[in-house]
Structure 1
Amino acid sequence: MAVTELAPDAPTVAHAGILRRQTPREPSARTYARSLPVVPVRARGLTIEGADGRRYLDCLSGAGTLALGHNHPVVLGAIRKVLDSGAPLHVPDLATPVEDAFTAELLATLPAGFAAGARVRFCGPTAADAVGSALALARTATGRDRALTFTGTGHDAWTAELSEGGGGGAGRTVPAALLLEPVQDEGGVIPAPDAWLRAVRRITADRSIALIADETRTGVGRTGAFWAVEHSGITPDVMVLSQAIGGSLPLSVIVHRPDLDGPLPDGRADAFRGNQLAMAAGAATLAYVREHRLAERAAALGEHLLGKLGELALHHPRVGGVRGRGLMIGVELVAPAAGDPAPPAPALAAAVQQECLRRGLIVGLGGHRASVVRLLPPLTLTDEQADAVLDRFADALDAALALSGPDAPPEAAAAPRAASAGPRRKEAGLSR
């Protein structure tokens, strides 16, 4: 196993000062800053250099926004080209060469079922804006108000979007839409089984329910296919796209069938939907992933990482499971308790994250009670870098296990959802 340099006990003055000033200025909701006290000053590819003088391997990739890693040359070149051209930086809905190039590149990557007549609708800059627009589109097209989603998804943070809509007392009528993630990321990196997705597609099609696939985290090659729905062969009615499609800059769109086309309700025309720099960076990213077959690369490298992590799990009973697809990987930590499945071990997962950070590896947490360590390295990850990530993670896991006592989870946490089961449905009434 490779030897990694541990973090110094005392950070540099600049590093400590910035972190100290951040705490009183920003709200407690800033989740990453609480668990990852890193002050980035430079970054390239997988690597971040902090104000503490240390170099980190970034396996968060900007929460999945950096398909090509930090400051990739093709992305920087695309941004500079727009800046140097004198073109407007923001023009909502107006046709521009930059928007035209982005749209053409995006359409060229879509699943075959979208080939004829797909519509691309630019939304506000965030994934939440796109989710809201997708739901509004489905409501308008179907004349219905309600929608269904699943527990353990990123949509849990967007309950307001699911709570909107007119017409109270919808009862048990057929919903307008079913919203799902092909792989739940924040829910603990849980891939939806392909056969299950095909069954969902049949059920929604038979009932004229708009199937909305949220590819915010899974798109642009992340799971080993350009779009995660391609693993199952389904074509949704609407796709929500964000994160990596902006090439590191804020951008979100929805792509939908032409027969769903129409105006959205008032309030859905967000002003910040014409970000030309993000469109240029996004077009460059989409083209690079396609031309260099990075989705296939993610599939092969992901299989290697999952295999090695699976071998690691055989020697560590506190690793309850290793799962994922492509370069979207989760390692679940469990408590040393009887029962199947074993209870989650959030304290151990947090300790592993901190030991990873000490060894210069940035990872995330998610899943039930934040007991799953999440790895989202860029698609440009090399074989050597992958081995370095594995070495640091294995070393961190050993250290965390040596330092952590057994978790004592409350009774309510004794029966977490099994990873092999399909995502649980959450029904959301869309009337105020």
Structure 2
Amino acid sequence: MAEKAYIGPEAIIEKKKKYIMPCLGHFYKEPRQFVKGSMQYLYDSEGRKYLDCFAGVSVMNCGHCNPEITKKVQEQVGTLQHVCNIYLTENFVNLAEKLAEVTPGKLQKTFFCSTGSEATEGALLLASIYTGNNEIIALRNGLHGRTKLGMSVTGIQMWRTDENPVGGIHFAPNPYCYRCPLGKKRETCDLACANMVEDVIQTSTAGHPGAFIAETIQGNAGIVVPPEGYFQRVKEILAQHNTLFIADEVQTGFGRTGRMFAIENFGVVPDIMAVAKALGNGAPISAFISTAEIADTYTRPGASTLGGNPVSTTAGLAVLDYIEKHDLCQNASERGEQLRAGLREIQKRHAIIGDIRGLGLMTGAEFVHADKSPAAAELDDVLETLKDRGFIIGKNGVARNVMAFQPPLVITAEDIDNVLNALEMVLTEKKL
């Protein structure tokens, strides 16, 4: 069989300019055309191999083209692909049952859709239905989707494309200890950022907002991990005002942080949870999940044409089976500790790394100048060089200066050593 010919990066970029809306950018000055994936590795159109340390932004938790998952999906594609969820099929109720088993607390009933944006939008709708109040509190620097409401509750200006956001939304400071928005020190702050939620309710709302929404770990903000006790304090405040807590687990769910869901690291249970990305391991599926008491108030007709279709729910069931069978939560925890320990050693020799933070295999290394100002250009240069040497690493942060490690959870100890060694070499060569 003749080897397939690929049009290559330059031709793709030209077609993008002609046929794709200009809002969609791409990483790298010299991007590559990826044509194949195998577990934690990617391959480009010229046959080069890369260790993927970003997993398509926390999507491919079980690895690219995972044989165990792919086999089940292929079988389903050949049997029944779609009838819409207003007809009866088995997989979507089985997956909902499984989600009720693995989610924390009394989360039980699921509504399936296709994207993270739909899931967060649906979660906010459900909170409004249950509480009868559509006021929302969100966090600065949060990111919750590209729908009008999703953009409106997003606290990062670059992602708020709509210049006329939805009203009734109020923002509290985010728990960003390295750059505390309140100028506090972690050791003595007494969770001032959490206490500000009470202040926002008292001064900016009618007193009983319907929902508080937060990413358990803020991804696009730069892998911002709340301090211990943060969500517990917030939950106490919300309970006093009959406000529901929505955990946005779109990036953090399904083993990413060493627990099935990141919120399990913080000792609280949300009232509603939004999930997506890794649930399908590349198949488009998302969901919002709540308690029976809350979910049962959503009685007016609602459906999602492709939500919970047989193929995506097959993928979801296979993902949950694979995570449990291969103990990916444990691997995420161990490899994450190894990664952060290695980064801390590198930090001792390279002052460009100002902060290292994360849980499991969701880790950020913030690049800064001597005065702590963001070093975004330097990060871009390092990422470009690492790409040329076979390592795909992400970036995020409001200033786009945080190196983001969110690899497939099947990554090995040897892989972690390899990327750490490559990073050390690049930083040394560039005298950073």
What is the TM-score with the length of structure 2 in the denominator? 0.82
Which residue of the partner structure matches residue 40 of structure 1?
34
Distance 2:265 2:219 in 1: 16
Distance 1:268 1:96 in 2: 17
Which residue of the partner structure matches residue 419 of structure 1?
none
Which residue of the partner structure matches residue 45 of structure 2?
51
Which residue of the partner structure matches residue 109 of structure 2?
119
Corresponding residue to 2:418 among 385, 388, 394: 388
Shift of 1:100: 2.8
Which residue identity lines up with residue 24 of structure 1 in the other structure? K
Which residue of the partner structure matches residue 379 of structure 1?
409
Shift in alpha-carbon separation, 1:312–1:89, aligned structure 2, 3 A: same
Please give the residue correspondences for 1:25-424 in structure 2 after superposition, counting only pairs within 5 Å. 25-33=19-27, 37-84=31-78, 86-111=79-104, 113-114=105-106, 118-123=108-113, 125-155=114-144, 157-158=146-147, 160-161=149-150, 162=152, 163-164=165-166, 171-262=205-296, 264=298, 269-337=303-371, 342-401=372-431
Secondary structure at 1:179 match in 2: strand
The answer on whether the counterparts of 1:133 and 1:264 sit within 8 Å (CA) in structure 2 is: no
The answer on whether the counterparts of 1:133 and 1:268 sit within 8 Å (CA) in structure 2 is: no
Which residue of the partner structure matches residue 178 of structure 2?
none
Give CA deviations for 1:71-94 in whole Å, capped at 9, x if unaligned: 00111011112123x224242243
Distance 1:278 1:368 in 2: 32
Which residue identity lines up with residue 93 of structure 2 in the other structure? D
Secondary structure at 1:190 match in 2: coil
Which residue identity lines up with residue 220 of structure 2 in the other structure? E
Secondary structure at 2:283 match in 1: coil
Distance 1:302 1:96 in 2: 39
Distance 2:236 2:275 in 1: 23
The answer on whether the counterparts of 2:136 and 2:213 sit within 8 Å (CA) in structure 1 is: yes
Shift of 1:284: 0.5
Which residue identity lines up with residue 90 of structure 2 in the other structure? P
Give CA deviations for 1:217-274 in whole Å, capped at 9, x if unaligned: 0000000111111111211100001000112111110110111124659896432213
Secondary structure at 1:57 match in 2: strand
The answer on whether the counterparts of 1:98 and 1:280 sit within 8 Å (CA) in structure 2 is: yes
Identity of aligned pairs, percent? 27
Distance 1:35 1:149 in 2: 34
Secondary structure at 1:184 match in 2: coil
Shift of 1:57: 1.2
Distance 1:289 1:61 in 2: 15
Secondary structure at 1:320 match in 2: strand
The answer on whether the counterparts of 1:109 and 1:290 sit within 8 Å (CA) in structure 2 is: no
Secondary structure at 1:31 match in 2: coil
Shift in alpha-carbon separation, 1:367–1:267, aligned structure 2, 3 A: farther
Shift in alpha-carbon separation, 1:373–1:166, aligned structure 2, 3 A: closer
Which runs of no fewer than 5 residues in structure 2 stay unpaired?
1-5, 153-164, 170-203
Which runs of no fewer than 5 residues in structure 1 stay unpaired?
1-11, 403-432
What is the TM-score with the length of structure 1 in the denominator? 0.82
Distance 2:144 2:326 in 1: 32
- RMSD value, Cα: 2.4
Which residue of the partner structure matches residue 6 of structure 1?
none
Distance 1:214 1:319 in 2: 28
Which residue identity lines up with residue 242 of structure 2 in the other structure? S
